[in-house]
Structure 1
Amino acid sequence: MSAIISRGRLKLLGHRLRERLWVKPLVICLLSIANVFVAKLADDTDLAQFTPAISADSIESLLSIMASSMLVIATFAVGSMVSAYASASSTATPRSLRLVIADDVSQNALSTFIGAFIFSVVALTAVKNDYFESAGLFTLFILMAAVFSVVILTFLRWVDRIARLGRLGMTIDVVEKATADALKRRRDAPRLQGVPKRSQDAVGTAVFATSVGYVQHVDIAALQACAEKGKGRIVVTALPGTFAAPGQALAHVSDSPDGDTAIDCDQVIQSFVIGDDRTFQEDPRFGLVVLSEIAGRALSPAVNDPGTAIDVIGTLVRLFVLWNGSGAQETDEAPQFDRVEVPELAVTDLFDDAFTAIARDGAGAVEVAVRLQKALRSLALVGDSAMRGAAAYHGRLALARSERALDLPEDVATVRTVATLTQSAAFEQAS
């Protein structure tokens, strides 16, 4: 039961529902229907003595106008959103589509338009069948005016949003925000509230995946419950983002020393949520990969947009500065799950995800190569020892690629000069 109702599972379910386009419209539709029947409750009060009389014919006319117009606007909204989704997939990367679909403003707008349509249809049917009396008609009129006001404000806000939704700049911003949120969560809990991994070598009995896909969530609370029940320890091997397959170890379990109890391996497997795709919420490396893909597409010969690659490099610098910021380590308090060992993310892996593809694809563009060296120099100056080492390594690797790709000796000399500054910065900070 812990694997089903744990807080981590509920948060994962909430993220999944948020990404579904039908959830908010369904909720708003139900609320719209409920509002119609709320107006009927006014007929059971003395409100009719204090309210002006509202003609049923006037309400029918207004509801008819709203019903016909809302259906058209909702259809237009769906068409515009689909175009924006297609643009996001073609200009940035298909991996960013999930975040674009989860845009709150667009989902709220579509929900409002559909909800107003359902409200007007249900209310019009009720009015035509003389469902309301005087007080109910007045209350329905007030609700209708409120719905109409919300529709107007939502439409104005949505028009501004849809003009930018799916555009490359906004897609980069959306991916940056999702990656920053994931990095902050992992920075504040680098071991997912477990204990540090004691040994680099695998210790205990390996628990293998039973399906093929990517680890999307590790339920540490469920693993803790399994370990406590078996009086043993569990070492997590596959963090979120790891590709899992039969024969690939998800974790290693060590049973109780006295041999009286054993950890249920089936429950351990169920604590790992495996899906077809990587997700942004608990996989910071995926966000870095997506940003690198956007830069790689911009640097392709078909697009030839080094400015976007330079913009992505600046975004990556902001993310690594955030990762290296205050609060990067857990507090000295006892971890919440003391029987589960979890490895931390390696800075070298983060740098590989972020900069390797950009250095390869941008090696022949002097402006990109220079900007990359400057970005690595900035990270070497602000980072810790691990980040300095990674910045120096990628600086040398990027220089080697540029020396092979650039034809003009002056361009090579320019990149080499900036790369020297990167190595000097890493050395000075280390000393």
Structure 2
Amino acid sequence: MSDRSYRSYQQPRVLLPLREHLRDTFWFAPTAGLVCTVALWLAADALDTEIVAYLRREQAYDELSYLASIAEDAKTIVTTISTAMMTFIGVVFSISLVAVQMASGQLTPRVVRIFVRSRISKLTLTVFLATFLFSLLVLTSYESETDPQRVHSVPLVQSVLTMAMLGLSLLLFIAYVTATLRLMQVGPVVDRITRESFQVLARQPAGEREAAALAPESAWIPYQGRAGVLRDVNVARLVRAARRHGVVLRLIPRIGDFVVPGTPVLAVHGEGQPPRGALRYTVSVGVERTLHQDIGFGLRQLSDIALRALSPAVNDPTTAVQCLDRMVQFLTAVVNRPLGAIQYRDSEGAVRLVQDVPGWTDLVDLALTEVRLFAPGNPQVSRRLIAAIDDLLLLAPEDRREPLLRHRTLLVHAVVRAAPEAAEREFALLPDRQGIG
């Protein structure tokens, strides 16, 4: 195992799966923001009370009257903010949801996940709701009378905070609209998918070129829970359980596989078997794949966008070429990377968990197969695909050239069948990194 992959387990990020799962939800950030808003209001209300109490002790009635006058003017502003903010929230997010629906129809339904995970979207909704709630709480702090002899509290600090939150809401609104408009463009979407794919690749240790010999399989552990897609596994917890019982665990399904109750999910190598309680909450299953630990899901999304662009209803080969550019970028990054089974070791260096990941052939087939099937009728795509394969052949070691040569041969045969004229075949098979540059 490489030093990098060994260190990656030595200091596991235990909260990383939880953080990633919370990022896939749209409720956590606004809920946490509302709780913080209540805490902020309580602190601001206590500070306002202390200010009035201090002025009373100093018998500064003129200052009290001045503050009460300012507060009365601020009350009008706060009332207006609280009235308009909720309507503003509804209009803004209604328009945004329509934009996301259009983007998912033109690109792929999985683009909605980008919107859900978008930090600016969650921050904007959180601040909008926080401003609305804070303004309502501030209104409860205003006195019905402005006579300084009867003033118990003047929400001066609260009023200033409300207007500051309004200013922040307006700035975030501009940023949010900009981000939503970018979501409707192909370039930023495929760039976002590619960057997330590289983040997944960076978090994963490299596979072993020579797999360690495992003890004979002694048992397998069935999956118990609802059926769904295997999203991720808790590596640290599985390694601890295997070390405690002196065995090696092997994850049978890959990340992204659909698992059903009763099917084997873990194989036990060695004597003994960890109890079911030690393996609880070690695998996470959901309704769809995520990019948390799935290195192939990015290519799957890019391929889906390219296929939809090449469909007769859309007929947009330029978008397919953009997706091919990013898929080639990813394949170039892994062309010399050790792929295959990942072996996680304990603190003593002993292998405790083996996880199978897509190999080089799997990734090449995922990126090129479906696009290749639609390429013969689109010279722009076939030319870009030929150029991509030729570039990868220059970088690939000898043992990784076979799937690339296979796809190149199949593409040439398909173009020959689709284009009976020799000139058309020659044009469609001319390598071009821009498709038809």
Q: Confirm or deny: 8 A CA contact 2:305 2:320 kept in the other structure.
A: yes
- Note the 1:175-190 alignment, pairs <5 A: 175-186=193-204, 189-190=205-206
Aligned partner of 1:164 in structure 2 is 182
1:335-394 per-position Cα deviation (integer Å, ceiling 9, x unaligned): 656222233430110111111111012221111001011011122223344543332222
Q: Distance in 2 between matches of 1:367 and 1:100?
A: 30
State whether structure 2 residue 245 is matched by structure 1 residue 230: yes
Unmatched segments (≥5 aa) in structure 2: 1-10, 433-437
State whether structure 2 residue 34 is matched by structure 1 residue 29: yes
Aligned partner of 1:323 in structure 2 is 334
Shift in Å, 1:309:
0.2
Q: Distance in 2 between matches of 1:88 and 1:290?
A: 14
Aligned partner of 1:425 in structure 2 is none
Q: Tell me the amino acid that sits aligned with residue 362 of structure 1.
A: A
Q: Tell me the amino acid that sits aligned with residue 140 of structure 2.
A: T
1:22-81 per-position Cα deviation (integer Å, ceiling 9, x unaligned): 222222222222222222222225765797625232121010111122112111122022
> RMSD in angstroms over aligned alpha carbons?
3.5
Instruction: Give the secondary structure class of the aligned counterpart of 2:274.
Output: coil
Q: Distance in 2 between matches of 1:271 and 1:124?
A: 48
Aligned partner of 2:299 in structure 1 is 288
1:167-212 per-position Cα deviation (integer Å, ceiling 9, x unaligned): 43332222222222112223xx135xx9964469984433333453
Instruction: Give the secondary structure class of the aligned counterpart of 2:256.
Output: coil
Q: Confirm or deny: 8 A CA contact 1:36 1:123 kept in the other structure.
A: yes
Instruction: Give the secondary structure class of the aligned counterpart of 2:267.
Output: strand
Aligned partner of 1:423 in structure 2 is none
Q: Confirm or deny: 8 A CA contact 2:211 2:341 kept in the other structure.
A: no
Change (3 A) 1:215 1:200: farther
Change (3 A) 1:348 1:329: closer
Change (3 A) 1:130 1:341: farther
State whether structure 2 residue 219 is matched by structure 1 residue 205: yes
Q: Distance in 2 between matches of 1:266 and 1:332?
A: 23
Q: Distance in 2 between matches of 1:89 and 1:9?
A: 33
Q: Tell me the amino acid that sits aligned with residue 173 of structure 2.
A: F
Aligned partner of 1:383 in structure 2 is 396
Change (3 A) 1:262 1:201: closer
Q: Confirm or deny: 8 A CA contact 2:74 2:159 kept in the other structure.
A: yes
Shift in Å, 1:311:
0.6
Aligned partner of 1:312 in structure 2 is 323
Q: Confirm or deny: 8 A CA contact 2:17 2:234 kept in the other structure.
A: no
Q: Distance in 1 between matches of 2:341 and 2:262?
A: 33
Q: Distance in 2 between matches of 1:39 and 1:102?
A: 32
TM-score, with length taken from structure 2? 0.82
Counterpart among 41, 49, 53 of residue 67 in structure 2: 53
Aligned partner of 2:3 in structure 1 is none
Change (3 A) 1:29 1:268: closer
Change (3 A) 1:116 1:343: same
- Note the 1:225-304 alignment, pairs <5 A: 225-245=240-260, 248-256=263-271, 261-264=272-275, 267-268=278-279, 271-304=282-315
Shift in Å, 1:9:
6.2
Instruction: Give the secondary structure class of the aligned counterpart of 2:292.
Output: coil
Q: Tell me the amino acid that sits aligned with residue 410 of structure 2.
A: L
